[in-house]
Amino acid sequence: MSYKIYLHDTETDCIGSGALSSAYIKQQLEAAAGADVEVHISSVGGSAFDAIAIYDLLKKYPGKVITYIDALAASAASVVAMGGQQVVMSKYALLMIHKPMVGSGGNADELLKDVQMLNVVQSRLAQIYMDKSGLDGLTINSLINSVTWMTADQALDLGFIDSIDDYNSPITNSALIQKYTDTAPAVYQRCINKNLFTPAKAIISLPR
């Protein structure tokens, strides 16, 4: 059974704080002790640096990691989602990427340093998206600069995710019948299985 980790925003926490911080995820992965891990994400984002730290933790984890986008993986949360060996997205979910931001003030020199820092951060985020999707840098940066919202179908087409969870599993008539006959007495199960689950022989009629 997989060890489940939930990165769902709360009223006070998002990526980088509380149960969505890299420190907490590190504890959770240590507790998983190499077992397969499912990381469920529903977040508007948060700290880009903490997101990269969580991404690195997931990539270095010795067990199998599957990330699930349950409702929203926006901004920094989209970076975390890329950390799975497999990325699965709900058919109803959204994925959003955009330019990194900083809230600061100061003189022109200080603001210029912020711009330089943001450009470096964007290059690192872009590389993560490139590594996952296989898209080139020009395309990825164009998507980032445009503030791109993706449905599951769009994210799949662009290579950001590996599959879509549509919650539907194929059900056949035989499967439905089997469900209700599994608890029948053994003698009846043998008769049912013989008549319903054994391929029928073709009947050939000859002209008279």
Go through 165-200 and write b for each residue having 16 or more CB atoms within 10 A of its CB, e for each that does not. beeeeeeeeeeeeeeeeeeeeeeeeeebeeeeeeee
pLDDT tens readout for residues 163-191: 999 877 544 444 444 554 555 555 545 55
| Fold classification of 3-165 (topology level) | 2-enoyl-CoA Hydratase; Chain A, domain 1 (3.90.226)
Other CB atoms within 10 A of residue 28 CB: 17
Name which of 10-19, 32-41, 115-124, 177-186 the model is least confident about: 177-186
Give me the active site residues, please: 75, 98
The domain segmentation of the chain, as residue ranges, is 3-165, 171-208
Give the C-alpha separation, 153 to 157, whole Å.
6
Q: Tell me, what DSSP letter sits at residue 92? A: T
| Strand 163-165 to 86-90 pairing | parallel
Backbone angles phi, psi at 122, to 5 degrees: -60, -40
Give the C-alpha separation, 83 to 85, whole Å.
7
Give the C-alpha separation, 126 to 140, whole Å.
6
- Quote the mean pLDDT of the chain: 86
The pLDDT, as a whole number, for residue 198 is 42
Record the tokens describing residue 71, joined without a space: 């409702």
* Coil vs helix vs strand at 48: helix
pLDDT tens readout for residues 40-90: 999 999 999 999 999 999 999 999 999 999 999 999 999 999 999 999 999
Contacts of 78 (CB under 8 A, 6+ apart): 45, 95, 96, 97, 160
CA nearest 45: which of 3, 118, 99? 99
